[in-house]
């Protein structure tokens, strides 16, 4: 799946940005600027929410990159509910001011994909990983490592978008999806993976190395 050719504003937001600015413009024309101030501010918020800047990809061969911008809310040994294995889970929470374009944490082939409807509780809470609406990808790296990358909806997130399917190949840092208006991304890694982040750390999609897989 090729990267889409617009590095600054995500295509998933074009419609919403156009509507927001059109409403602000119409209110400005028919009611005046004072009445339109709130709508202009809302339009600017929508524009910044869908920003999607280009990122440099680290060259560390076994690196696991952050799939999203945000804050680390979990680093723990768990049972991977998708691949039915022991794993280390690293979770990135995105607030409404973070970039919400999701990017592949590793180079690999998409072996499977699962979607689960669910709740829309605060994505900062641990139970959100298993109770909220979510979309999971099983990515098999070239050296045989299994990585599960899960998009999880948040309190006001109403749409998870994933643009890949089983059989597709993902390059590290490649855009693969988007979650609209608040969410988290969970990454399940093999036991023994070297983790480079701690709870509370701020991370950035593609540029932050979350972990390093065993060679």
Pick the more confident residue, 126 or 102: 102
Query: Is the model's pLDDT at 109 over the cut of 60?
Result: yes
Residues counted in the chain? 215
**Same domain flag for 20 and 76:** no
Q: Mean pLDDT, to the nearest integer, of 180-199?
A: 90
Q: What is the pLDDT of residue 2?
A: 42
The pLDDT of residue 114 is above 80: yes
Q: For the chain, how far is it from start to end, CA to CA, in angstroms?
A: 27
* Per-residue pLDDT, 40: 94
- pLDDT value, residue 59: 87
Domain presence at residue 4? no
Q: What is the pLDDT of residue 119?
A: 67
Q: Are residues 149 and 182 in the same domain?
A: yes
Q: Which residues pair with 63 in a beta bridge?
A: 212
Q: Domain of residue 43: give its range.
A: 11-49
Q: Using one digit for the tens of pLDDT, what is the confidence trace for 130-160?
A: 777 889 999 999 899 999 999 988 666 567 8
Give the per-residue pLDDT at 116. Answer: 85
pLDDT at position 79 over 50: yes
Token pair, residue 18, equals 């156009």
Measure the CA–CA gap between 177 and 174, rounded to whole angstroms: 9
The confidence score (pLDDT) of residue 14 equals 86
Domain count, the chain: 2
- 35: Cβ–Cβ under 8 A, 6 or more apart, which residues? 27, 28
Provide the mean pLDDT of the chain: 87
Residues 32 and 113 grouped into a single domain: no
How far CA 36 is from CA of 21, 32, 33, 43, 46, in Å, comes to 11, 6, 5, 10, 15
The pLDDT of residue 124 is 61
Question: What is the reported pLDDT for 1?
Answer: 42
Q: Is 129 a catalytic residue?
A: no
Do residues 197 and 125 both lie within one domain? Answer: yes
Mean pLDDT of 29-46: 92
In this prediction, residues 122-129 reach a mean pLDDT of 63
Pick 3 or 162 by higher pLDDT. 162
Query: In angstroms, rounded to a whole number, what is the distance separating the alpha carbons of residues 65 and 104?
Result: 7
Examine the domain organization and report whether 43 and 80 are in the same domain: no
157 or 71, greater pLDDT: 71
The answer to whether residues 44 and 72 belong to one domain is: no
Query: Could you tell me the two tokens for 142?
Result: 């070239």
The answer to whether residue 167 sits within a structural domain is yes
Between CA 30 and CA 170 the distance in angstroms is 48
In a domain, 57, yes or no: no
- 75 and 30 housed in the same domain: no
* Annotated catalytic residue within 66, 104, 145, 183: 183
Which structure tokens are listed for 123? 């994505």
pLDDT, average across residues 38-64: 89
Same domain, 103 and 164: yes
Would the pLDDT of 198 be above 80? Answer: yes
Whether residue 72 sits in one domain with residue 30: no
Contact residues for 70 (Cβ-Cβ < 8 A; gap 6+): 92, 93, 94, 95, 98, 184, 185, 202, 203
Rounded CA separation 146/130 (Å)? 20
Q: Are 70 and 95 in contact (CB under 8 A)?
A: yes
Residue 153: which CATH number? 2.70.70.10
Asked if residue 97 and residue 144 are part of one domain, the reply reads yes
Beta-sheet strands, E only, within 35-166: 63-65, 70-80, 85-94, 101-103, 108-116, 134-140, 146-153, 160-162
CA distance 5 to 10: 10
Q: How confident is the model at residue 120 (pLDDT cuts 50, 70, 90)?
A: low
Predicted local confidence at residue 106, as pLDDT: 95
Is residue 54 included in any domain, yes or no? no
How far is it between the farthest Cα atoms of the chain? Answer: 64
Do 16 and 68 lie in one domain? The reply is no
Q: Are residues 162 and 95 in the same domain?
A: yes
Is 1 within a domain? no
């Amino acid at each position: 799946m090729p990267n889409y050719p617009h590095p600054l504003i995500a295509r998933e937001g074009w419609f919403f940005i156009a509507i927001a600015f059109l409403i602000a413009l119409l209110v400005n024309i028919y009611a005046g600027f004072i009445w339109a101030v709130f709508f202009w501010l809302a339009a600017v918020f929508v524009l910044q929410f869908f920003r999607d800047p280009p990122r440099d990809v680290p060259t560390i061969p076994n690196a696991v990159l952050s799939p999203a911008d945000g804050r680390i809310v979990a680093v723990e040994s768990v049972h991977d509910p998708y691949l039915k294995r022991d794993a280390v889970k690293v979770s990135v929470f995105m607030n409404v001011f973070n970039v919400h374009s999701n990017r592949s944490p590793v180079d690999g082939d998409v072996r499977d994909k699962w979607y689960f409807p669910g709740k829309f509780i605060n994505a900062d809470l641990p139970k959100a990983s298993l109770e909220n609406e979510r979309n999971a990808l099983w990515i098999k790296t070239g050296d045989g490592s299994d990585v599960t990358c899960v998009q999880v909806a948040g309190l006001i997130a109403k749409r998870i978008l994933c643009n890949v399917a089983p059989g597709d190949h993902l390059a590290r840092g490649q855009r693969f999806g988007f979650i609209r208006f608040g969410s988290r991304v969970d990454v399940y890694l093999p036991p023994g993976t070297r983790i480079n982040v701690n709870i509370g750390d701020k991370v950035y999609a593609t540029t932050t190395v979350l972990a390093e897989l065993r060679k």
